[in-house]
Amino acid sequence: MQTDITIAAAQADMRSGYLDGAPGIAASSAAWLMAAAVAFSASPSAAVWTLLVAGACIHPAGIVLARLLGATLCMAAVGLVFLRAPVAMSALVGGLIDLGFAVVLLRSARKTAA
């Protein structure tokens, strides 16, 4: 593994190895479209659960799709990824807080409707 790689070179490596992120974007789009379809055909509560489950499958589905499309998934600079870990963790915590707000709002809407 290379240890003297620049951030620009690591980003170029990730872009080429993951096909510019297209498989992940496709998997994310599929998850959101499934949630939208459930929202229109069933209920908002079911759509939130659909998005929760499908959202958890975005990364694995993106990796499988990337492999099927012939991506190398190489990460020569995997050590540089850990420099970004605090940013990723704050985004995860923010997403969980948003999910909590959505659940509270759905429950309060259900109580007012009843």
Q: Quickly state the pLDDT bin for 1 (edges 50, 70, 90).
A: very low
21: alpha, beta or left, given left = phi > 0 and alpha = psi -120 to 50? left
Residue 17 confidence (pLDDT) above 60: yes
Identify the pLDDT of residue 3.
58
Name the token pair of 21.
């992120």
Within-domain flag for 77: yes
Residue 1 lies in a domain: no
Residue 12 pLDDT exceeds 80: yes
The CA distance from 20 to 14, in Å, is 8
pLDDT tens-digit series, residues 48-107: 999 999 999 999 999 999 999 998 877 665 555 555 667 677 777 888 888 888 888 888
Asked if the structure places residue 2 within a domain, the reply is: no
48 within some domain = yes
Residue type at 20 in one-letter notation: D
- Please report, as a single letter, which amino acid is at residue 99: L
Helix runs in 5-84, H state only: 7-17, 22-41, 44-56, 58-68, 78-81
Q: Determine the structural domain holding residue 57 and report its residue range.
A: 7-113
Query: Domain tally for the chain?
Result: 1
SS3 114: coil
Name the nearest CA neighbour of 54 among 68, 26, 35. 35
The mean pLDDT value for 6-10 works out to 78
Task: Output the pLDDT for position 84.
Answer: 62
- Enter the pTM of the model: 0.63
Residue 14, domain member (yes or no): yes
Q: How confident is the model at residue 31 (pLDDT cuts 50, 70, 90)?
A: very high
Q: Which residue has the tokens 């915590």?
A: 93
